[in-house]
A and B are shown apart, each in its own frame.
Chain A
Amino acid sequence: DARVTQTPRHKVTEMGQEVTMRCQPILGHNTVFWYRQTMMQGLELLAYFRNRAPLDDSGMPKDRFSAEMPDATLATLKIQPSEPRDSAVYFCASGSQGLYTEAFFGQGTRLTVV
């Protein structure tokens, strides 16, 4: 049963702390997306990787957010320092390269910064 796995599912942290969210894409998938769900913006794209190389992180606040893929089985999204406005659900999705293919989403990490 192939699925995208995200950890942790829930995270409560204090303002100013570092937060790291992890994602294990589906084995064999070579594209990885990080999205943030907010009420006003829907699903905002934060970062997009193909073959572990970052292709687009224009949606990510560069001063505090960073995204990496240390290897093909792990993608990370880090926030340092975290702020209350970062509170949201963060989704990772993976897909395979090719025409007309969909992305598969993980269950998300609900982040609350107090």
Chain B
Amino acid sequence: DQQVKQNSPSLSVQEGRISILNCDYTNSMFDYFLWYKKYPAEGPTFLISISSIKDKNEDGRFTVFLNKSAKHLSLHIVPSQPGDSAVYFCAASAQSGGTSYGKLTFGQGTILTVHP
């Protein structure tokens, strides 16, 4: 039961263009969403997050959009750079009480390749 899904295994983009990575979730209890970036032979590193009270959060070249009714979020990278080439993971958690509070559930990841 995959509660967080990234349906595109890979994405290829030209340098300078926009990269859009997508993520869908099924659990309506999720109210906090994160994106992580992972380079080979390293652990994932936190990139950007959004809580369910917002529909957009921006940090430099990175913007995350949340559509709660569609249970969908996306990460936009503008402009894309070759150094952005990595695996991007979407994650979600429920911040309300219970034993699952704070537990991060990840998607399968999307490999982004930015060509010079």
Interfacial residues, chain A to chain B (CB-CB below 8 A)? 4, 31, 33, 35, 40-45, 48, 50, 55-56, 91, 93, 95, 97, 99-108
Q: Is the interface of B mostly helix, strand, loop or mixed?
A: loop
The smallest C-beta distance from A94 to any residue of chain B, in angstroms, reads 11
Q: How far is the CA of A103 from the CA of B32 in the complex (A)?
A: 12
Q: Which residues of B contact A56 (CB under 8 A)?
A: 99-100, 103
With A102-B34, A107-B41: A97-B102 Cβ-Cβ less than 8 Å: yes
- A48 to chain B: closest residue by CB: B103
Q: Are A31 and B44 in contact (CB under 8 A)?
A: no
Q: Which residues of A contact B51 (CB under 8 A)?
A: 100
Q: Which residues of A contact B105 (CB under 8 A)?
A: 45
Q: How far is the CA of A31 from the CA of B101 in the complex (A)?
A: 11
Q: How far is the CA of A43 from the CA of B34 in the complex (A)?
A: 14
The smallest C-beta distance from B17 to any residue of chain A, in angstroms, reads 25
- B44 to chain A: closest residue by CB: A105
Contact-size category for B: 20 to 34
Interface contacts beyond A91-B44, A107-B43: sample of 5 additional A-B pairs, CB < 8 Å, sorted by A: A4-B43, A31-B102, A41-B108, A93-B104, A105-B36
- A105 to chain B: closest residue by CB: B43
Residue pairs across A and B with Cβ atoms less than 8 A apart, 24 shown, are A4-B43, A33-B103, A42-B107, A42-B108, A43-B44, A43-B89, A43-B91, A45-B104, A45-B105, A55-B99, A55-B100, A55-B103, A91-B43, A91-B44, A93-B104, A100-B32, A100-B49, A100-B51, A100-B95, A102-B46, A104-B46, A107-B41, A107-B43, A108-B43
